[in-house]
Amino acid sequence: MDWRHRPRCDETPAWAALQQHFTQQFSGTAAFDLRQAFAQDADRAARFSFDAAEVHSDLSKNLIDDEAQRLLTQLARECGVESLRDAMLAGERINTSEQRAVTHVHWRSESKDATAPDRQAPAAPENIVNLRREITATQSAMLAYADAVRADSAFTDVVNLGVGGSDLGPRLVVQALRASGVANGPRVHFVANMDGHELAELLPQLRVDSTLFIVASKSFGTAETMQNAASARAWFAAQGGTDVARHFVAVSSNTAAAEAFGAGRCFAFDEGVGGRYSLWSPIGLPIAIAIGSAAFRDLLAGARAMDAHFAQTPLARNLPVQLALLDLWCRHFHGFGSRCVVPYHHGLRRLPAYLQQLEMESNGKRVDTRGRALSLHTAPVTWGEVGSNGQHAFFQMLHQGTQPVPVEFVLVRNPAHALPGHHTKLLANALAQARALMMGQAGDAPERHFPGNRPSTVLLLPDLSPHSLGALLSLYEHRTIVLGALWGINPFDQWGVELGKRHAGEIEAALHSGDVTALDVSTAGLLKQLR
């Protein structure tokens, strides 16, 4: 099937079959019960468990049966998921609204000549071969620079100035690998918020002669980032700093603007790398400085292993595909409007925030790639908190609230610390919550009754290493892309982000001038209160 002529999910024969199956087996008096499903099928857990790269997953505690899974897998075929996947790996322009290839996977590919990470695809087109050569050169230069910064004892602190994809992915990875003891380089800080309180709180902790600032903006025009960069440069000058080129480095496709700013180095990347998919590119410079080039290459290798699984594995056992299909099943057939992600590891505490951008910015769309309005809801709300903190915050609602919410538990088998007792209790709490959501409990009073039959998924890593973390994040990327393919939308653009930026510019001008004639009455009234 040509990826450009794929039907969306609600236009396929499998969709109609799924609707019929759901009505017969999951609604009314025939409502599916997990407890009965496990009692009647001793092999259910094994059949609904998957292994991909270093990620083990258990999907068995979800409200799904074998026939639904079979029909969903058929749906993926009918939607042309395989053809779109192959087109992406081959460097075709699947980002149709911006007429771009999607190239972030090539930044973690080992071979500059292979089309796909598994090296099993036909020879790459010339544009991809050339791109791979450019990637190799840029990546080598970036990692050499990162190691040089690590070796320079004068640098004690690195500050990454970025927002969105230039912040969330790198921040997550650095925090995760710091918790695992891998991030042993200079202290790496992240400033994203335009609110000056964030930068103002950090600057007094820094010394002008020992701080490196990374200005990370693809366009080198992102309002939040450039405001923070201007303030950081002003602080640098006020503190007696003179060598801007040594203390400011840029990650941007706009090399001319970076040079005009005074950055001593600029690491560029191609237009096919979207912000929320960009941590593998030079946007990952703060990661490389924190963990070193060897560990960064291991991060890429973990992602590449998941890429190979995604490229090679049949749909029925393909973990990114099956997770996306489960998301679709939960969203449209069960009507679940959100998904809760609870990582039971301190290092993964920013994972929910990272996924919020990855999933909701990618798939929060209301028209398909042909410009047709969607009759289906897309992008469920992604939210969560690190476990076990979440147990003492919102798990009451998960257990006894009126609207079931699918919960995704992310666990790490082996801790990096040696404190006795902690990790065993942590893992026990995670598994107990998943079991309690499923089993429920009959109470002697209404307020003590737990209905149970509430869905959950478990993703398990062996440890929180660069390799396993790379595999996990690549898994989430592919899952998001597949879900977009099922809906027939473009998960690589973000036009909704631009609208707010335009309005902000108009209102900022009005705040300076006091002229509110072009504004609505409400905004004008609030602006007067702020002046």
Q: What are the catalytic residues?
A: 361, 392, 501
Q: What does residue 304 show for φ and ψ, rounded to 5 degrees? A: -65, -35
Cβ burial 260-293 (10 Å sphere, 16+ → b, else e): ebbbebbbbbbebbbbbbbbbbbbbbbbbbbbbb
What's the N-to-C CA distance of the chain in angstroms? 59
CB atoms within 10 A of CB 140: 11
The dihedral sign for the CA sequence 342, 346, 348, 350: positive
Spatial separation of the C-alpha atoms in residues 402 and 413, rounded to whole Å: 33
Q: Which positions ≥6 away from 35 have C-beta within 8 Å?
A: 438, 439, 452, 453
Distance of CA 425 to the CA centre of its chain: 28
Asked if 326 and 336 count as a contact pair (C-beta separation under 8 A), the reply is no
Distance (Å, whole) CA 362 – CA 480: 7
* In the block, residue with structure tokens 């230039």: 166
- Which DSSP category does 506 fall into? H
Alpha-carbon distance of 486 to 322, in angstroms, equals 12
CA gap 189, 195 in Å, rounded: 16
Quote the CA–CA distance of 432 and 398 in Å, as a whole number. 14
What are the residues whose beta carbons fall under 8 Å from the beta carbon of 13, sequence distance 6 or more? Answer: 78
- Prior bond of 388 cis (ω within 30°): yes
8 Å CB contact between 516 and 510: yes
Only one residue has tokens 């039959």, namely 453
Burial (CB count <10 Å: 0-12, 13-18, 19+), residue 447? exposed
Cα–Cα distance between 511 and 405 in angstroms, integer? 42
**Which string of b and e fits 427-442 if b means at least 16 CB within 10 Å?**
beebeebbebbbebee
